[in-house]
A and B are shown apart, each in its own frame.
Chain A
Amino acid sequence: MAKVKTFQDLILTLQNFWASKGCLILQPYDDQMGAGTFHPATTLRALGPRPWRAAYVQPSRRPKDGRYGENPNRLQHYYQFQVIMKPAPADIQDLYLESVRAIGLDPSLHDIRFVEDDWESPTLGAWGLGWEVWCDGMEISQFTYFQQVGGIDCDPVSAEITYGLERLAMYVQNVEFVYDLAFNEDFRYGEVFHQAEQEFSAFNFEMANTEILFRHFKDAEKQCQELISGNKKLALPAYDQCIKASHIFNLLDARGVISTTERAAYIARVRALAKACCEAWLATPMGDYKPRFG
């Protein structure tokens, strides 16, 4: 049980591990989003009766968390490793702990615990019960049994596991400053992302044209509604627009142009889109597909 040495080893190890447990290894979704949960492979596939198992890396954008490359661990762009299994296997906690061993954290030397933390995403109208997983007092994963997505009950219940890859890697590599992480043997994380953090922080906080963003939010909202309100319902393209609207909202929020009251209203608008997309998805063949087994 050697410790994984580099950031990319961590990713490869997790991919191999979950592939061996029957998960599809998907690729990141090609839209900007705040968390791996927004990937349709989680949001939409968590709904309906069809079994599903997938794992993927998802670049996650949190415009407000930009720190111009100066904070030791806050990033406006970081990676999540996401696992979704539906229905949740009875031994999912054990599988998770096996994955922790696989990346070289020995539970017999560390203090690994499941501490109550019920996950909730107001923008997706989603929530679940679960834990933060602590390793020696540090949160290394979020573990959730999905109860609702888009305001719709999840039946069967999925288990979702999210690893914050940078934080986990910092722990495994014993690094205090994220940019010092070894991405592979030759490159540091900072060489790959430091400039991007600087530039995007400036974009998120100073340069993003709010007029354009407000317009784009409305456009995405409109396009989304059109795609699911007509006779021909296109759940997946509509959901893309929902993801876009959500990210644009996050940018506007980072620019500080949304007041507290408006904030709630914007979140409600995105949630309405997500809900409509989820409902539309359930009406599609894949959403409603009845498996031959299980």
Chain B
Amino acid sequence: MADLLLELFSEEIPARMQQQAAKDLERLVVGELSDRGLLFEGAKAFAGPRRLTLALVGLPNKQSDVSEEKKGPRVNAPTKAIDGFLRSAGVTLEQCEKRDDGKGEFYVAVVHRKGRATADVLAEILPDCLGKLPWPKSMRWPQDTNAPVRWVRPLHSILCALDGEVVPFVFAGVTSSNRTRGHRFLSKGEIQVRRFDDYVKKLRDNHVILDGDERKQIILHEAKNKAFALGFELIDDEALLNEVAGLAEWPIVLVGEFENKFMDVPSEILQTAMRVHQKYFSLRDAKTGKLSNRFVIVANMETTDGGKAIVAGNERVLRARLSDAKFFWDQDRKRTLESRVNDLRNIVFHAKLGTQLERVERIEALAGTVAGKIGADTKQAKRAARLCKADLTTGVVGEFPELQGVMGGYYAEHDGEAREVALAIVEHYGPTGRDLTSTSAVSNALALADKWDIISNFFKIGEKPTGSGDPYAIRRAALGMIRIILDRKYRLPLSALPDHTTEILAFFAERLKAALREGGTRHDLIDAVFSLGNEDDLVRLVTRVEALQAFLKTDDGANLLAGYKRAANILRIEEKKDGIAYSGEPDPKLLLLPEEKTLFMDLGAGRELISAELERERFTEAMSAMARLRGPVDAFFDKVTVNAPDVALRTNRLKLLARLRETLHEVADFSKIEG
């Protein structure tokens, strides 16, 4: 058994690409090895700013030997054909066997292939694997060979050792060796490596923590401790943690401080300036939750002054950033949001959909309509709509686009707008991620209007989401609407909104399925209810689906579904045979057996009851009414022969089954239900 160690040492790999690159490297090498019959016991891939590493343990030393038979031409075939066969099989005529298949003799070449040494196989496949590594963005490299490859940044060295022996190959002009380097500034020099354990230890001695997870742990642990020592707590930020762990091989956690004068600036601005531009973690008071003026820097350098110069430098940079932010914050408040609305005419929303001002005017009208339907204050909803995009023209949002909405809220408050209006401006982009939906009806009216404007208009100009892409985030908009409507139980029929189409309704049904899948709602039941048509009220649709799902879990439900399927099957076959679709009232006089009489009676009463309950949206009760049909249906199939020799009798019984089908279809299209 042998262990492989492969390291690709390059100039700085963008943090966001490292994890995927390590996974891709593992996938490619593992795939090529298994294709060649080389299986192993374990694989682990690592990524960091300057290196991708793959370690495989328990590889066989060589491939197994294989014998393979190749059937050749008949012995009396033309010489040319025989020669061709020998050439392609790589054997001489003497090495071939003659066999007889009853129709004559033919040649068989038995090719013995000796398993190759794993090292040789690796030397052959690794250049290919490396060349296939899919980088999101790459450059041609190197300059001085005729076979440049695409790589994320220039590659400087390749370490490749199988059980301590170099596996020799060349990729992109770089020859593999058993050497690498440590930290850019802290390394003691070139490192020679034989095995993985040795590698990890030597890297550590040269100030490199190989494992990204370990780097994350170190950062998190240190940051939390330092925050705690100062009486604060770290504000968790998983994405930032991943990023900074990809920017340091030797993470050193330091704490900086900014002047109190910036504390008047909204904490969102401070935090965003620290996070986005500088990649600092923020701290807060554990009790009050108030943002601290201390911040956490993750450096990639250990210095003799304990990081003093580094902290001072970072504090200076942040001071300049915050001065800028404070300047914008002060400037922005000199103008009201209202006065900025007109400036939106200079911002194009989409070439075919006009300016942001035109969009605001559409949203304003929509917000009024929606507010009326969901019981929100129409005036406030329209006011919030008018102002909701005005912050796009402010300095702070220009600097920090991710603060759109949040800043609008601050400015609206400053202008003395109603609290609900300011809140709606903040919340109308939501719900994002796993946020709860707002409890404010005005916020939700605006959020729904904003999203419907996106969905209906992009559908109108044919920019629909496709399998491969959704550049305008239309799916997310629909999901947002679905979440708001269902969470708040808003009775907002989609067909009450302007520009609705059947295509958009179908799109919502699809999104609804995706949204409800997580909660365990069966997608076939959504289809079954949705395909009745005319269902544009998501709350009603979901309530009905849930009632149906609960019903099908009961014994009555399962049996009734089985009965339905049987009826539908018979009808399908007989209707096809007869070339007609059965429907209409069965003739009571032709009902002979008690079971068909009972079913007829119960269907009549049941259908009326079900309709009435559905009408009143008492779905559970409608299901109970349906449940009562189970007994008569079972009894019917037990005792009654549908395909009676008497034509009139047969027709009547088929009509009775059709009546059953129609009755159940009042509730849902049972043919769409699986199982």
Q: Which residues of A contact B (CB under 8 A)?
A: 72-73, 87-88, 90, 93, 107-116, 118, 128-129, 131, 135-138, 145, 147, 155-157, 171, 176, 259-261, 294
Q: Which 9 A-B pairs have the closest CB atoms?
A: A136-B313, A116-B14, A114-B12, A137-B314, A87-B143, A111-B299, A156-B143, A111-B301, A138-B317
Contact in complex: B303, A118 (CB < 8 Å): no
A261 and B304 CA atoms in complex are apart in Å by: 54
Contact in complex: B144, A157 (CB < 8 Å): no
Q: Which residues of B contact A155 (CB under 8 A)?
A: 140
Given contacts A107-B301, A108-B301, A131-B12, 15 further A-B contacts (CB under 8 A): A109-B304, A110-B309, A111-B301, A115-B12, A129-B138, A129-B152, A137-B280, A137-B297, A138-B314, A138-B317, A155-B140, A171-B313, A176-B319, A260-B348, A294-B144
Q: A113-B247, A136-B310 are in contact. Are A147 and B139 (CB under 8 A)?
A: yes
Q: Which residues of A contact B153 (CB under 8 A)?
A: 129, 145
A128 and B153 CA atoms in complex are apart in Å by: 11
Contact in complex: B11, A118 (CB < 8 Å): no
0 or 1 for each of B273-312: is its CB under 8 Å from A? (1 = yes): 0000010100000000000000001011101110001101
Q: Which residues of A contact B138 (CB under 8 A)?
A: 129
Measured CB to CB, the nearest residue on chain A to B12 is A114
B310 interface neighbour in A111, A128, A145, A156, Cβ under 8 Å: A111
- The answer, yes or no, to whether B185 is at the interface (CB within 8 Å) is yes
Q: A116-B15, A260-B348 are in contact. Are A157 and B139 (CB under 8 A)?
A: yes
A157 and B150 CA atoms in complex are apart in Å by: 12
Contact in complex: A116, B12 (CB < 8 Å): yes
A118 and B17 CA atoms in complex are apart in Å by: 14
Contact in complex: A87, B16 (CB < 8 Å): no
Q: Which residues of A contact B141 (CB under 8 A)?
A: 157
A136 and B154 CA atoms in complex are apart in Å by: 24
A112 and B314 CA atoms in complex are apart in Å by: 12
A107 and B312 CA atoms in complex are apart in Å by: 15
Contact in complex: A136, B300 (CB < 8 Å): no
Q: A118-B137, A147-B139 are in contact. Are A260 and B300 (CB under 8 A)?
A: no
**Shortest distance from the beta carbon of B280 to any chain A beta carbon, whole Å:** 8
B154 interface neighbour in A90, A109, A138, Cβ under 8 Å: A90
B185 interface neighbour in A107, A176, A260, Cβ under 8 Å: A107
**Shortest distance from the beta carbon of A197 to any chain B beta carbon, whole Å:** 17
**Shortest distance from the beta carbon of B326 to any chain A beta carbon, whole Å:** 12
- The answer, yes or no, to whether B88 is at the interface (CB within 8 Å) is no
A111 and B154 CA atoms in complex are apart in Å by: 22
Q: Which residues of A contact B314 (CB under 8 A)?
A: 136-138
Q: A157-B140, A261-B348 are in contact. Are A109 and B305 (CB under 8 A)?
A: yes
Q: How many B residues face the partner with a CB closer than 8 A?
A: 45
- The answer, yes or no, to whether B485 is at the interface (CB within 8 Å) is no
25 contacts between A and B (CB under 8 A): A87-B143, A88-B143, A88-B154, A107-B185, A110-B309, A110-B313, A112-B185, A113-B248, A113-B300, A114-B11, A114-B12, A115-B12, A115-B247, A136-B299, A136-B309, A136-B317, A138-B313, A145-B153, A147-B139, A147-B140, A155-B140, A156-B143, A171-B316, A259-B348, A261-B351
Q: Which residues of B contact A260 (CB under 8 A)?
A: 346-348
A294 and B143 CA atoms in complex are apart in Å by: 10
- The answer, yes or no, to whether B318 is at the interface (CB within 8 Å) is yes
- The answer, yes or no, to whether B320 is at the interface (CB within 8 Å) is yes
Output the residue of A112, A114, A137, A145 with the most chain B CB within 10 A. A137
Q: Which residues of B contact A (CB under 8 A)?
A: 11-12, 14-16, 49, 137-144, 152-154, 156, 185, 247-248, 278, 280, 297, 299-301, 303-305, 309-310, 312-314, 316-320, 323, 346-348, 351
Q: Which residues of B contact A87 (CB under 8 A)?
A: 143-144
Q: Which residues of A contact B278 (CB under 8 A)?
A: 137
Contact in complex: A93, B11 (CB < 8 Å): yes
Q: Which residues of B contact A171 (CB under 8 A)?
A: 313, 316
Q: Which residues of A contact B346 (CB under 8 A)?
A: 259-260
Q: Which residues of A contact B300 (CB under 8 A)?
A: 111, 113
Contact in complex: B154, A137 (CB < 8 Å): no
Contact in complex: B318, A137 (CB < 8 Å): yes
Q: Which residues of B contact A93 (CB under 8 A)?
A: 11
A171 and B314 CA atoms in complex are apart in Å by: 11
Q: Which residues of B contact A145 (CB under 8 A)?
A: 139, 153-154
Q: A145-B139, A261-B348 are in contact. Are A137 and B14 (CB under 8 A)?
A: no
**Shortest distance from the beta carbon of A29 to any chain B beta carbon, whole Å:** 27
**Shortest distance from the beta carbon of A89 to any chain B beta carbon, whole Å:** 9
A115 and B277 CA atoms in complex are apart in Å by: 11
Q: A155-B140, A259-B346, A261-B351 are in contact. Are A110 and B247 (CB under 8 A)?
A: no
Contact in complex: B318, A129 (CB < 8 Å): no
A58 and B314 CA atoms in complex are apart in Å by: 28
A23 and B562 CA atoms in complex are apart in Å by: 85
Contact in complex: B310, A110 (CB < 8 Å): yes
Measured CB to CB, the nearest residue on chain B to A86 is B143
A171 and B315 CA atoms in complex are apart in Å by: 12
Measured CB to CB, the nearest residue on chain A to B305 is A109
A115 and B298 CA atoms in complex are apart in Å by: 13
**Shortest distance from the beta carbon of A109 to any chain B beta carbon, whole Å:** 5
A176 and B320 CA atoms in complex are apart in Å by: 8
**Shortest distance from the beta carbon of A171 to any chain B beta carbon, whole Å:** 7
Measured CB to CB, the nearest residue on chain B to A94 is B184
Q: Which residues of A contact B143 (CB under 8 A)?
A: 87-88, 156-157
Measured CB to CB, the nearest residue on chain B to A263 is B348
Q: A93-B11, A129-B139, A145-B139 are in contact. Are A108 and B303 (CB under 8 A)?
A: yes
A171 and B15 CA atoms in complex are apart in Å by: 26
Contact in complex: B320, A72 (CB < 8 Å): yes
Q: Which residues of B contact A90 (CB under 8 A)?
A: 142, 154, 156
A155 and B143 CA atoms in complex are apart in Å by: 8
Q: Which residues of A contact B303 (CB under 8 A)?
A: 108-110
**Shortest distance from the beta carbon of B44 to any chain A beta carbon, whole Å:** 25
**Shortest distance from the beta carbon of B251 to any chain A beta carbon, whole Å:** 11
Q: Which residues of B contact A138 (CB under 8 A)?
A: 313-314, 316-317
A116 and B156 CA atoms in complex are apart in Å by: 18
A48 and B248 CA atoms in complex are apart in Å by: 37
Measured CB to CB, the nearest residue on chain B to A115 is B247
A176 and B154 CA atoms in complex are apart in Å by: 36
A111 and B15 CA atoms in complex are apart in Å by: 17
Q: Which residues of A contact B14 (CB under 8 A)?
A: 116
**Shortest distance from the beta carbon of B177 to any chain A beta carbon, whole Å:** 16
Measured CB to CB, the nearest residue on chain B to A114 is B12
**Shortest distance from the beta carbon of B242 to any chain A beta carbon, whole Å:** 14
Contact in complex: B313, A137 (CB < 8 Å): yes
**Shortest distance from the beta carbon of B51 to any chain A beta carbon, whole Å:** 14
Q: A111-B310, A114-B11, A261-B348 are in contact. Are A72 and B317 (CB under 8 A)?
A: no
A112 and B16 CA atoms in complex are apart in Å by: 19
Q: Which residues of B contact A156 (CB under 8 A)?
A: 143
Q: Which residues of A contact B152 (CB under 8 A)?
A: 129
A153 and B255 CA atoms in complex are apart in Å by: 45
A109 and B280 CA atoms in complex are apart in Å by: 20
**Shortest distance from the beta carbon of A134 to any chain B beta carbon, whole Å:** 9
A118 and B12 CA atoms in complex are apart in Å by: 13
Measured CB to CB, the nearest residue on chain A to B252 is A111
Contact in complex: B154, A135 (CB < 8 Å): no
Measured CB to CB, the nearest residue on chain A to B311 is A136
Q: Which residues of B contact A109 (CB under 8 A)?
A: 303-305, 309-310
Contact in complex: A73, B11 (CB < 8 Å): no
Q: Which residues of A contact B185 (CB under 8 A)?
A: 107-108, 112
**Shortest distance from the beta carbon of B310 to any chain A beta carbon, whole Å:** 5
Measured CB to CB, the nearest residue on chain B to A73 is B320
Q: Which residues of B contact A137 (CB under 8 A)?
A: 278, 280, 297, 313-314, 317-318
